[in-house]
Structure 1
Amino acid sequence: MATEDSQVSTPSPTTSTVISTPFQEKGHKYRELTDEEQSKLNSDKTLVAEFKQAKLEREAQKNWDLFYKRNSTHFFKDRHWTTREFQELTEKEPTDDGVSAGQRVLLEVGCGVGNAVFPLLDENKQLFVHACDFSPRAVQFVKENAAYDPARISAFQCDITKDPLVAQIPECNVHIVTMLFVLSAIHPDKMAAALRNIYEVVRPGGCVLFRDYGLYDHAMLRFSKGHKLAEQFYVRQDGTRAYYFTEEMLSKLFSEAGFEVCQNEYVLRETVNKKEGLCVPRVFVQGKYSKPNI
């Protein structure tokens, strides 16, 4: 599924440069829009026609499959930053004796070709990963990776908006779910169903670790007219789609799905392209949402 560097021809995000500012009418607390940016957003009022939007929804899987057909496994960099951002991914699960390390179960939703999964498996030897993706082609790339070991990873195709995860994973079995730039690719009307589906396989006390596009991210402001599907929801040239979240919307979505909100905040990064002399602001939303101990 979509990733942070998928549509911006700049390197991966660098060191955090989060700066607190008063709330502005032309933005939010971490990203104030310039007059030019605000004018551009205000002038983009026309939405893509309903018949075309329906076609995009019907062909969503095909468009992602074509994306991976064009780009194979070479488009994205491996995500070695995940353990730095999410300490939970390095933790070991104690066994009953309280001494030796047991196996932790992770579900990677929207695994793509494995750019997050394989570095995690290499770093945490006690991890078992269920990896799913909307695109059958992406899943096949994961299975063809030389590092794919069925004893430590199970990859499968899944539309998390409708395919029950419990058909592949025992109920209440997963310690950690990672959702990295995947919910934004789902139609907003189906996001709640996806989160309820995930809730069923998370064990009490388990959590979802989340990062995705935030409102007023540079990628959002680069869309030209004719690409707007709804407020904060856009279609790219290749037919894949992206939603840009507010903290408030994410908190509401996860809470209504049954999760407790532990962390939910904007994260600002600057992406630098030295060759072109560009420095652009990236806005992400990062969160941790836990399943209550019942």
Structure 2
Amino acid sequence: MAEIEEFTCLTKQLSIEDKTRLEHQNTRLVTDYKAQLLEKDARKYWDLFYKRNETRFFKDRHWTTREFTDLLDFECATKRTLLEVGCGVGNFIFPLIEEKLNFYIIACDLSPRAVEILQKNPLYNEEYVRAFHTDITTEDVLDKIEPNSVDIVTLIFVLSAIHPDKFLSTLKIIYKLLKPGGIVLFRDYGLYDMAQLRFKAGHKISDNFYMRQDGTRSYYFSVEFLSKIFLESNFEVVSATYVHRRTINKKENIDVPRVFVQAKIRKPV
């Protein structure tokens, strides 16, 4: 199994079959009542997700230091503070801890069950990591983290799980937590990703926002829209690009295209 990544400012070109799939999704949308329940019960669905899967679903993200070289700033003598939003069971933070990078890590997640699983990991030690449950779309997090105290915020496959109506308010909360000159490292699902195209009718909530079978939700970002919401939240966009990945297994005749969006964002000094 081989993986090939290509970085580009261009979105995926849709085939006639892809366009037909997207049009079919509009024939039956999630009802307003169901959409409201999904929002109200978002924490419950993620708790159930981690109850079923525990640590088995996501792989540890050893690729993050390769893709985000800001994590490897060895010239910084002082310990930096890193906030991971949507930490899940620690697939991002524990590889960083294993590499002994000079961070104090704050980790938070909507799911109390995920945080509980994370805290049971043998690598969890509150000398260098603190994890807690919170809803990042509310200002409750400001009671647990000092404003202007965080050097780096990571948003790795988490903003897509939040309702689009709350994107701006969420980013403005993150803006308050970051130090001037602090950065956001972002990666999430990109527009026309394979997962988006595979949704059947009855799963679309609104433009580029979908309900999965398990009740969790996912938004698919364009580079333009992502840049727009960060700019509206007073950030500077340092870089934003599509990541086109192909997972290839010639023996089994598998060639799976994926699309992600990756960005580096800065709070102005």
Q: Could you tell me which amino acid in structure 2 is paired with residue 50 of structure 1?
A: D
Return the letter of the residue paired with 2:144: Q
Residue correspondence of structure 1 range 102-251 to structure 2 within 5 A: 102-251=78-227
CA contact (8 A) 1:213 1:283 kept: yes
Conserved? CA contact 1:108–1:179, under 8 Å: yes
Aligned residues: 268
| RMSD of aligned Cα (Å) | 1.6
Q: Kindly indicate whether the alpha-carbon contact (under 8 Å) linking 2:84 and 2:106 is maintained by their aligned counterparts in 1.
A: yes
1:154 positional shift: 0.4
The 1:37/1:125 distance shift into structure 2, 3 A limit, reads closer
Bigger drift between 165-174 and 81-90 goes to 165-174
Pick one of 41, 59, 67 that aligns with 2:41: 59
Partners of 2:234 and 2:128 lie apart in 1 by 29
Q: CA deviation at 1:14?
A: 2.4
**12, 15, 33: which one aligns with 2:4:** 15
CA distance in 1, matches of 2:201, 2:131: 38
Shift of 1:273: 4.8
Question: Does residue 278 of structure 1 match 2:259?
Answer: no
Deviations 1:59-111 (A, max 9, x none): 110000000000011111100000000000111364xxxxxx21011000000
Shift in CA distance, 237/266, structure 1 to aligned 2, threshold 3 Å: same
Aligned residues with identical type, % of pairs: 52
Q: CA deviation at 1:34?
A: 1.2
- Map Cα deviations across residues 155-210 of structure 1 (whole Å, 9 max, x no partner): 01011111432211111111101100000000000111111111111001110000
2:12 to 31, 56, 73: 31
Task: Give the corresponding residue for 1:74.
Answer: 56
The residue number in structure 1 matching 2:25 is 44
1:282-293 alignment to 2 at 5 Å?
282-293=258-269
Query: Residue 137 of structure 2 contacts residue 169 of structure 2 at CA under 8 Å; is this kept in 1?
Result: yes
SS in 2 for 1:102: coil
Using the alignment, how far apart are the partners of 2:17 and 2:4 within structure 1? 26
Q: Secondary structure at the match of 1:206?
A: strand
Looking at structure 2, the residues matched to 178 and 213 of structure 1 have their Cα atoms a distance apart, in angstroms, of 15
What is the rounded CA distance, in whole Å, between the counterparts of 2:81 and 2:199 in structure 1? 38
Distance 1:155 1:50 in 2: 34
The alpha carbon displacement at 1:280 in A equals 1.3
- Larger RCO (CA within 8 A; separation ≥ 6): 2
TM-score, normalising length from structure 1?
Answer: 0.87
**Cα pair 1:93 1:102 within 8 Å, conserved:** no
* 2:101 counterpart SS class: coil
Structure 1: which 5+ residue stretches go unaligned? 1-10, 21-28, 95-100
Secondary structure at 1:17's aligned position in 2? strand
Any conservation in 2 of the 1:92–1:103 contact (CA below 8 Å)?
no
TM-aligned CA deviation for residue 18 of structure 1: 4.3
C-alpha distance in structure 2 between counterparts of 1:274 and 1:237, whole Å:
30
Task: Give 3-state SS (helix, strand or coil) of 2:5's partner.
Answer: coil
SS at match of 2:61: coil
Q: Is the 8 A contact 2:84 2:108 kept in 1?
A: yes
- What is the TM-score normalised by the length of structure 2? 0.95
The separation in 2 between residues aligned to 1:19 and 1:109, in whole angstroms, is: 26
Structure 1 residue ranges, 4+ long, deviating more than 6 angstroms after superposition? none
What is the CA–CA distance in structure 2 between the aligned matches of 1:157 and 1:273, rounded to whole Å? 39
| Residues 194-237 of structure 1: CA deviation (Å, up to 9, x unaligned) | 11111111001110000000100001011111101011011000
- Taking the aligned partners of 1:201 and 1:63, their CA distance within structure 2 comes to 27
State the shift of 1:19 in Å.
Answer: 6.4
Deviations 1:139-162 (A, max 9, x none): 111111000010000001011111
Q: Is the 8 A contact 2:72 2:101 kept in 1?
A: no
